[in-house]
Amino acid sequence: MSTRRSYVKTGLLAGGASLLGRLGFARPQHSPEQHGSPPAPAPPATPGPSSKAPALLRKRGRLPYTPVVTPNGSTLPWVMRSGVKEFHLVAEPVKREFAPGMLVNAWGYNGQTPGPTIEAVEGDRVRILVTNKLAEHTSIHWHGIFLPAGMDGVGGLNQPQIKPGETYAYEFTLRQHGTHMYHPHADEMVQMAMGMMGFLVIHPKDPERHVDRDFCIFTHMWFVEPGTMTPNTAVMLDFNIFTFNSRAFPGIDPLVCRKGDRVRIRLANVSMTDHPIHIHGHRFWVVETDGGQIPESGWWPETTLNIMPGTTRAVEFVADYPGDWALHCHKNHHVMNAMGHDIPNVIGVDQNEVAKKIAALVPGYMAMGSSGMAEHAEHSKHMAGLPNTLPMMTGTGPFGPIEMGGMFTVVKIREELETYDGDPGWYDYPKGTVAYKVDGPPGEPRKKQQEHHGHEPS
């Protein structure tokens, strides 16, 4: 875990710093002084974590909103020029590490896929410069935004395509607030499949409520032939890598929350199919689509929300229950990493005899799958022969293999939390609150953790 996190941070810092330098932007991203934003109004009256956790308050600074967190990603810096917030996106090929052990030749913005999250406030005048460093033309569409037709970004329809080496400016006033996205409307089949997409979040001018945590997750899927590193964009349905913010579990940062936090998760999808996103231990309220806010009387509760292609959704919930809670796509293949689809179905087949014969020819051969595919998690190195290929299921938790990859992460809710930065580690289960074994084959060793956490019902 620490290895992965330090790698990610180093990568982000290295990539981000050189890029920001190139664009002439300075860190930090959230300081209003640096960016010359208008004076921030007083913080919302809703009691937040501030009274108990000064460190958390400092993080929010004087911004009139809780900054969006893009796990494994970043927020795009801006500069104020004559009253206009100016952003700069650079469309370019990017190398994206999906998880340790797998690097992908993707396309994106500013060295990242998804591109950095653009954050602004309703009423802002924004100018977004787009420089094309791809080898082919592109354009950017601002999905769900009310703007002049000539700024809508459909290549050929609203503007000429942006040729390689050219920079275009999009400029409009934000007349709404909500969860939106940006993506190309050029070479449709290829550019989004290669990872070109990003969030455009517009905060309300007069927030009706305060959230403590505001996350955004871009769902996506890819086909990267095992052993290779460039997505095949001609694939229509048979994708084999499924990502949150272009990372696959166990390469996805957890969503860290304090007990009692009001949490918003914004989800988006420009892939070829829908992703039913499921949360454990809580139910969330559906508060927003890319069409705008749903009045509170119209919110509805879900534990699984389908994110259809070409949509955004925002959900909110109060982090009531401490623990480690799974958040994942509920399509079973979408919580798996690269796998060949031409594998024979051997569930229920006795392979003992054939395994003996093959082992005579192939030393170390192991027949798997007769009782199900869980064995793959234990022997997750079965793809180790292929370079740049993640095992199907690789995550390991405190009790053993998690048996998932792909679109899976963990919402980590803690009673005590000094900082939202970093990973607080696995949940320390109170004694007597973990499922326990009451019967089984004699002599089978118990898992260490189960003994540690005890069995007595409270």
Q: Please give the distance of CA 74 from its chain centroid, rounded to a whole number.
A: 11
Residue for token pair 């892939």: 271
H helical segments located in 115-252: 188-191
Least gap, CB of 276 to Cu ion (angstroms): 7
Q: Please give the distance of CA 258 from its chain centroid, rounded to a whole number.
A: 20
Q: Which is nearer to Cu ion, 11 or 276 (CB)?
A: 276
Instruction: Calculate ∠ Cα 449-450-451, nearest 5°.
Output: 90
Least gap, CB of 242 to Cu ion (angstroms): 6
The residues pairing with 141 across neighbouring beta strands, listed in sequence order, are 183
Least gap, CB of 214 to Cu ion (angstroms): 22
Those residues whose C-beta lies under 8 Å from the C-beta of residue 261, and which sit 6 or more positions away, are 49, 211, 212, 213, 318, 319, 413
- E strand or H helix that includes residue 92: strand 84-99
Q: Which is nearer to Cu ion, 331 or 376 (CB)?
A: 331
Q: Which is nearer to Cu ion, 221 or 314 (CB)?
A: 221
The one-character DSSP state at 80 is: E
Q: Which is nearer to Cu ion, 137 or 331 (CB)?
A: 331
Least gap, CB of 339 to Cu ion (angstroms): 15
Q: How many CA atoms lie within 13 A of 235 on its CB side?
A: 17
Least gap, CB of 274 to Cu ion (angstroms): 7
Instruction: Say if residues 199 and 216 touch (Cβ distance below 8 Å).
Output: yes
Instruction: Please count the other Cβ atoms lying within 10 Å of the Cβ belonging to residue 336.
Output: 25
Residue for token pair 């969860």: 179
Least gap, CB of 240 to Cu ion (angstroms): 12
Q: Is 180 helix (H, G, I), strand (E, B) or coil?
A: strand
Q: Which is nearer to Cu ion, 230 or 304 (CB)?
A: 304
Phi and psi at residue 327, in whole multiples of 5°? Answer: -135, 115
Least gap, CB of 275 to Cu ion (angstroms): 3
Least gap, CB of 329 to Cu ion (angstroms): 3
Q: Which is nearer to Cu ion, 96 or 275 (CB)?
A: 275
Binding site for Cu ion (CB under 5 A): 275, 329, 331, 334
Of 163, 142, 133, 72, residue with least CA distance to 409: 72
The residues pairing with 129 across neighbouring beta strands, listed in sequence order, are 88, 169
Least gap, CB of 328 to Cu ion (angstroms): 9
Beta strands in 224-322 (DSSP E): 241-244, 255-258, 262-269, 275-279, 284-289, 292-293, 300-302, 304-307, 311-318
d(CA 13, CA 240): 29
Q: Which is nearer to Cu ion, 104 or 267 (CB)?
A: 267
Q: Which is nearer to Cu ion, 25 or 284 (CB)?
A: 284
Residue for token pair 């900054």: 67
Q: Which is nearer to Cu ion, 143 or 334 (CB)?
A: 334
Q: Which is nearer to Cu ion, 151 or 272 (CB)?
A: 272
Least gap, CB of 409 to Cu ion (angstroms): 13
